[in-house]
Structure 1
Amino acid sequence: MVQELDGSVMRCVRDQNGNHVIQKCIECVPEENIQFIVTPFFDQVVTLSAHPYGCRVIQRILEHCKDPKTQSKVMGEILGSVSMLAQVQYGNYVVQHVLEHGKPHERSIIIKELAGKIVQMSQQKFASNVVEKCLTFGGPSERQLLVNEMLGSTDENEPLQAMMKDQFANYVVQKVLETCDDQQRELILSRIKVHLNALKKYTYGKHIVARIEKLVAAGGTVSSLSSMNGY
């Protein structure tokens, strides 16, 4: 039955209904019997990852195709276009999938690729979700890299300030507070607290204020919280 699809694979992948059949083939049929399905994707991985149905099929391949050549080819194309895929409507799901389920070195490649663009990416609807996944699944040193970038190189606080007022980036700041260690949280909160009153005037800044108040109500595990009670 699966063999009947030979010659029509790409048409099915791009079809609203057909893509579900291709996904099931990848999930249920032994890998050696579906090479005719997988091979046409080579050199098309980025295009398919940015497609509303193709992105689902690429995720199934990442999950079920263990052949080293297939893994290397598909992953290589994804990692070569991380910045672009992170910013598009469907491609960001593929990058998130690798961050959540990929190997540590694949995760590191993604985070290193996005480093230097974290503030800009956090202010975008789709890429901000990728940055949140970087914070959730990155290792301690990778998370530190991202936190340093958000805090900026001086006490001026400009990147963090801009993020707290942004409709998408404010969620990234909340994710930082949720995922960082106590020492990092101490530093971030000390930077945030000087802007708390100003943040209350911004629609999205209020989300940060609410998160800080929640931390205070929870007992404030960080010493700098005690001085916020009077804000």
Structure 2
Amino acid sequence: MVTELDGHVMRCVRDQNGNHVIQKCIECIPEEAIHFIVSVFYDQVVTLSTHPYGCRVIQRILEHCHNPKTQQIMMDEIMQSVCMLAQDQYGNYVVQHVLEHGKPHERTAIIKTLTGKIVHMSQQKFASNVIEKCLAFGTPMERQVLVNEMLGSSDENDPLQVMMKDQFANYVVQKVLETCDDHQLEVIMNRIKIHLNTLKRYTYGKHIVARVEKLVAAGGTILLSLYLWT
């Protein structure tokens, strides 16, 4: 039955119903029997990743196709367009999938590519979700690099203040508060305290104030920060 799809794979992938059949083929049929399906996607990974149905199929391939050649081709094409995919309404899900379920070196490669663009990406509707995944699944060292970028290099350069007022970036700051270690939390709480009154005047800044108050109320590992806050 599956071989009957040969020659019609791309048509099915782009179809509202057919894409589910292709997904099931990838999930349920031995990999060696669906090479004719997978090979159609070579050089088409980015195009499919930005398609409402194609992005689902690419994620299934990343999950179920373990052939080294296939994995390498998929990741090479994704890595060549990481920044564009991260900002795309469908492509961001593919990048998020790799960050959450991919190999450590793949996750590191994506975070390295996005480093230097964290503040800008955090202000984008779709890319902000990707940055949240970087914080959630990156190593402690990678998370530190991201946090440092958000904090800026001086009082004059304060990207964190901009992020806290932004409709999308404020969620990234909230994710930082969830994922950072005690030392990072102390630094960030001190920085937030400086801007507390200003934040209360902004719709999205209020989200940060509410999250911080919740953390302070929780106590526990944030006793030092609680002292600083009060």
Aligned: 1:89 with 2:111:
no
Q: In the alignment, which residue of structure 1 is the partner of 2:229?
A: 228
Any idea what the Cα deviations from partners look like across 1:107-143, whole Å, max 9, x if unmatched? Answer: 0100010000000000010000000000000001100
Q: In the alignment, which residue of structure 2 is the partner of 1:169?
A: 169
Any idea what the Cα deviations from partners look like across 1:159-189, whole Å, max 9, x if unmatched? Answer: 0000000000000000001001000111111
Q: In the alignment, which residue of structure 2 is the partner of 1:126?
A: 126
TM-score when normalising by structure 1: 0.97
Which of 210-219 and 161-170 deviates more? 210-219
Q: In the alignment, which residue of structure 2 is the partner of 1:40?
A: 40
Give matches, 1:1-231, under 5 Å. 1-156=1-156, 158-219=158-219, 221-229=222-230
Once residues 71 and 63 of structure 2 are traced to their aligned partners in structure 1, the CA distance between those partners, rounded to angstroms, is: 10
Once residues 102 and 72 of structure 2 are traced to their aligned partners in structure 1, the CA distance between those partners, rounded to angstroms, is: 12
Once residues 90 and 16 of structure 1 are traced to their aligned partners in structure 2, the CA distance between those partners, rounded to angstroms, is: 15
Any idea what the Cα deviations from partners look like across 1:195-227, whole Å, max 9, x if unmatched? Answer: 011100000000000011111111261424324
What fraction of aligned residue pairs are identical, expressed as a percent? 79
Once residues 225 and 155 of structure 1 are traced to their aligned partners in structure 2, the CA distance between those partners, rounded to angstroms, is: 23
Once residues 190 and 156 of structure 2 are traced to their aligned partners in structure 1, the CA distance between those partners, rounded to angstroms, is: 13
Gaps of 5+ in 2: none
Once residues 157 and 175 of structure 2 are traced to their aligned partners in structure 1, the CA distance between those partners, rounded to angstroms, is: 18
3-state SS of paired residue (1:113): helix
Q: Say whether the 8 Å CA contact 1:182–1:222 is kept in structure 2.
A: no
**Would you identify which runs of 4 or more consecutive aligned residues in structure 1 move more than 4 Å?**
none
Once residues 212 and 223 of structure 2 are traced to their aligned partners in structure 1, the CA distance between those partners, rounded to angstroms, is: 11
Once residues 214 and 165 of structure 1 are traced to their aligned partners in structure 2, the CA distance between those partners, rounded to angstroms, is: 18
3-state SS of paired residue (1:202): coil
3-state SS of paired residue (1:176): helix
Shift of 1:79: 1.1
3-state SS of paired residue (1:155): coil
TM-score when normalising by structure 2: 0.97
Aligned residues between the structures: 229
